[in-house]
Amino acid sequence: MTASAKTISDALLHWYDAYARDLPWRNPPRAPRPSDPAWPYRVWLSEVMLQQTTVAAVKPYFAKFVANWPTVEALAAAEEAEVMAAWAGLGYYSRARNLLKCARAVAARGGFPESKEALRGLPGLGPYTAAAVAAIAFGQRAVVVDANVERVVARLFAITEPLPAARKAIRERAEEITPEQRAGDFAQAMMDLGAQICTARDPRCLLCPLAGDCAARAKGDPARLPVKAPRKPKPERQGRAYWIERDGAVWLVTRPGNGMLGGMRALPDDGWSAQADGSAMPPVPGAQLSLGAVRHVFTHASLTLELVRLEGEPDGDGEWWPLERIEEAGLPTLFAKAARLALAARG
DNA sequence: TATCCGTGGCT
DNA sequence: TAGCCAAGGAT
């Protein structure tokens, strides 16, 4: 490690010791001690939940999961439908499917592996999460690169090459400034800095412990970095969902394990997610009445979903779900919106 | 390398 | 307000 790299890591760790955020999945006194097997479980669980997701959104879900399933063994023993329902609303549902697969693999082998390489082989753990768990939960010296680190490093070293091409150079610089000791604290410090000081827009350089080391600040325009490729336009989709009600219950299906909202309970629909637009064909014959439409914006498409009340007998797999317990069905946000529309139309 | 996969908050 | 953004992974 060069002298300037040590200057950076020392300054950041010193800042972290004073200003680290108090988060439920972090160190004592609020969380178990590192020697407790509950500690790697909580670190792993929080890291998976935090993928592409804000701290504020994760907090209530983390509390619910730890209360329902205090250990990885408890989670491993859970029914998939329970886990998916508990995850409902948090998004990126493949994370929940892989979370359960991972819990079962870990329970079967008697605990989490401790090396980055072994962690990388578990479902749902990519380069980032494997490195983060190795460093934070097991004290390994691993180089942790997430969007915060990319932003901080791009500014520190004034890397003007656009993402994603700049990732190689960013990783090399991150490797240089990651200390041998306290790599987990260093990673969390970079994330705290990125979330609170070195923010994407309007960075608060006057509060930054690395301001004196920052090449982008010296050049005068840190907010310009990192440069990103322009996004592609978001396609517009149309679809229909069907509200089939009987005796105070609504017909729900479970979506296939892959693809959009995979594994989640849902209203039956016309296949809009598998095709660009749905077929608009109802799953059963019978009288139809439009209840209105719901707008929903996903990462890669915007959807207008028409909700149609259907009089008829459903066929295929599904379940009658009591309306008074609809909140417990674990519908993803799109279908939760549709259910609210139906209940409002119903008066 | 590029694309797909949620959601809610912020500006 | 429409777009941007957030502790990415799988394919």
Domain boundaries, chain A: 3-224, 236-346
Return residues with beta carbons within 7 A of strand C. Answer: A 23, 25-26, 46-47, 50-55, 92, 94, 98, 123-130, 132, 146-148, 151, 188, 191-192, 194-195, 200-201, 228, 230-231, 234, 299
**What pLDDT is recorded for position A33?**
58
DSSP-derived secondary structure for A63-117: HHHHHH--SHHHHHTS-HHHHHHHHTTS--THHHHHHHHHHHHHHHHTS---SHH
| Residue pLDDT, tens place only, A283-308 | 878 888 999 999 999 999 999 999 99
Q: How far apart are CA A316 and CA A277, in angstroms?
A: 22
Query: Options 3.10.110.10, 1.10.645.10, 1.10.340.30, 1.10.3720.10; which CATH number does A3-224 get?
Result: 1.10.340.30
Give the residue, A346 or A51, on which the prediction is more confident.
Answer: A51
Asked whether residue A90, judged by its CB, lies under 7 Å from any atom of the DNA or RNA strand B, the reply is yes
Could you tell me the distance in Å between the CA of residue A162 and the C1' of nucleotide B11?
23
Give the residue, A158 or A32, on which the prediction is more confident.
Answer: A158
At which residue do the structure tokens 């229909």 appear? A240
Could you tell me the distance in Å between the CA of residue A57 and the C1' of nucleotide B9?
10
Q: How far apart are CA A63 and CA A86, in angstroms?
A: 11
What share of chain A in percent tops pLDDT 70? Answer: 97
**What pLDDT is recorded for position A218?**
96
**How does residue A275 score in pLDDT terms, banded at 50, 70 and 90?**
confident
Q: Is residue A30's pLDDT more than 50?
A: no
Which bases on strand B have an atom closer than 7 Å to a protein beta carbon?
A: 1-9, 11
Q: Is the dihedral of CA A68, A40, A150, A169 positive or negative?
A: negative
Name the strand (E) or helix (H) holding A144: none
Q: How far apart are CA A110 and CA A118, in angstroms?
A: 14
Q: How far apart are CA A143 and CA A208, in angstroms?
A: 22
Q: Is residue A32's pLDDT more than 60?
A: no
Give the residue, A197 or A284, on which the prediction is more confident.
Answer: A197
Name which of A83, A112, A120 is nearest A100 in CA terms.
A83
Q: Which nucleotide is nearest to A262 (CA to C1')?
A: B5
- Average the pLDDT over A110-114 and give the result: 96
**How does residue A118 score in pLDDT terms, banded at 50, 70 and 90?**
very high
Q: How far apart are CA A116 and CA A195, in angstroms?
A: 25
Q: How far apart are CA A172 and CA A182, in angstroms?
A: 19
Crossing angle (nearest 10°) for helices A183-196 and A3-19: 70
A236-346 is a CATH 3.50.50.60 domain: no
Instruction: Give the mean pLDDT of chain A.
Output: 94
The set of residues, in sequence order, having a beta carbon less than 8 Å from that of A142 and lying 6+ positions away, is A116, A130, A131, A132, A134, A135, A178, A183, A187
Could you tell me the distance in Å between the CA of residue A71 and the C1' of nucleotide B6?
26
**What pLDDT is recorded for position A29?**
44
Which bases on strand C have an atom closer than 7 Å to a protein beta carbon?
A: 3-10
- The tokens for A218 are 């010296």
DSSP-derived secondary structure for A284-335: S-S-EEEEEEEEEE-SS-EEEEEEEEE-S---SS-EEEEGGGGGGG---HHH
Q: Is residue A207's pLDDT more than 90?
A: yes
Residues 248-267/A with CB within 7 Å of nucleic chain B are 259-262
Look at strands A302-310 and A319-322 and give their pairing. Answer: unpaired
**What DSSP state is assigned to residue A213?**
G
- Phi, psi (rounded to 5 degrees) for A254: -110, 125
Q: How far apart are CA A318 and CA A123, in angstroms?
A: 28
**What pLDDT is recorded for position A182?**
95
Give the residue, A315 or A33, on which the prediction is more confident.
Answer: A315
At which residue do the structure tokens 């705290």 appear? A192
At which residue do the structure tokens 């790599």 appear? A183
Residues 108-167/A with CB within 7 Å of nucleic chain B are 164-165, 167
Q: How far apart are CA A211 and CA A163, in angstroms?
A: 23
| Residue pLDDT, tens place only, A258-267 | 899 999 999 9
Asked whether residue A299, judged by its CB, lies under 7 Å from any atom of the DNA or RNA strand B, the reply is yes
Could you tell me the distance in Å between the CA of residue A297 and the C1' of nucleotide B7?
9
β-pair partners for A320:
A251
Q: How far apart are CA A319 and CA A248, in angstroms?
A: 13
Could you tell me the distance in Å between the CA of residue A170 and the C1' of nucleotide B6?
28
- Tell me if domain A3-224 and domain A236-346 are identical in fold: no
Could you tell me the distance in Å between the CA of residue A110 and the C1' of nucleotide C3?
46
Q: Which nucleotide is nearest to A92 (CA to C1')?
A: B6
**How does residue A28 score in pLDDT terms, banded at 50, 70 and 90?**
low
A47 is catalytic: yes
**What pLDDT is recorded for position A38?**
82
**How does residue A347 score in pLDDT terms, banded at 50, 70 and 90?**
low
